[in-house]
Structure 1
Amino acid sequence: MEGNAEAGLYPTSTPEMARKKADLAPKQVEAWRPFSNAVFTAGALDEKTKQLIALGVSHVTQCANCIKGHTKTAKLKGATNEQMMEAIWVAAEMRAGAAYAHASIAMEEMLNLDQ
């Protein structure tokens, strides 16, 4: 086992596990795979940029397997370590900014409760 799997946080992702999940919902997987491939194919954005976006988003969604996969694929598509870390920092700022912005919800409740 690697990484977090040793600590028991996440099961190890294997081809067998992927097959078992696909067997339980074959129509969804059949629809998902071409969609996923289309999303990451170069278009208005090149593949490296798409992988950098995915790497940042995978940190915000806290998907360990996504982080590993998009780090590897971003590197294969030509991303530098510096570009990947910068994408992660952009995602971190967006997550922190959203938390701060949502503080207005709590603030409104506090004001209502203090009346």
Structure 2
Amino acid sequence: MASSASPIVIGRVVSVTEKMRIGSGAMLHSHYSPLSVAEQLGTLETSLPGRIDLGLGRAPGTDQYSANVLRHRVAGEPVFDARLEELIAYLYGTGTATKNGSFSIHAIPGEKKMCQFGC
């Protein structure tokens, strides 16, 4: 099943199955903030432990105009690798801090939910 709202479809499919692992084939990482990916998939994993898989896509997934509408770009925005590192920090539970270090940001309930390879 394909959709532009992966977490919603994943939740629906998991709700009508009992044992299958369900996941996003390629959730387009450029369209979502790392924090929202960690929180959305972490919420699903919290509700249905061991049944949610996260697959990330790197391509814009559409034409450039649509990609810009989906995720507005700002000057100096981190590239894919930096965004992926941020997502991993949320999923592994270390979180990130603001640039001046005054506030620590964590994905709740995403922390330590989606990292099955050594959390």
Instruction: Provide the TM-score with structure 2 as the length reference.
Output: 0.25
- RCO higher in 1 or 2 (8 Å CA, sep ≥ 6)? 2
Give the TM-score, by structure 1 length.
Answer: 0.26
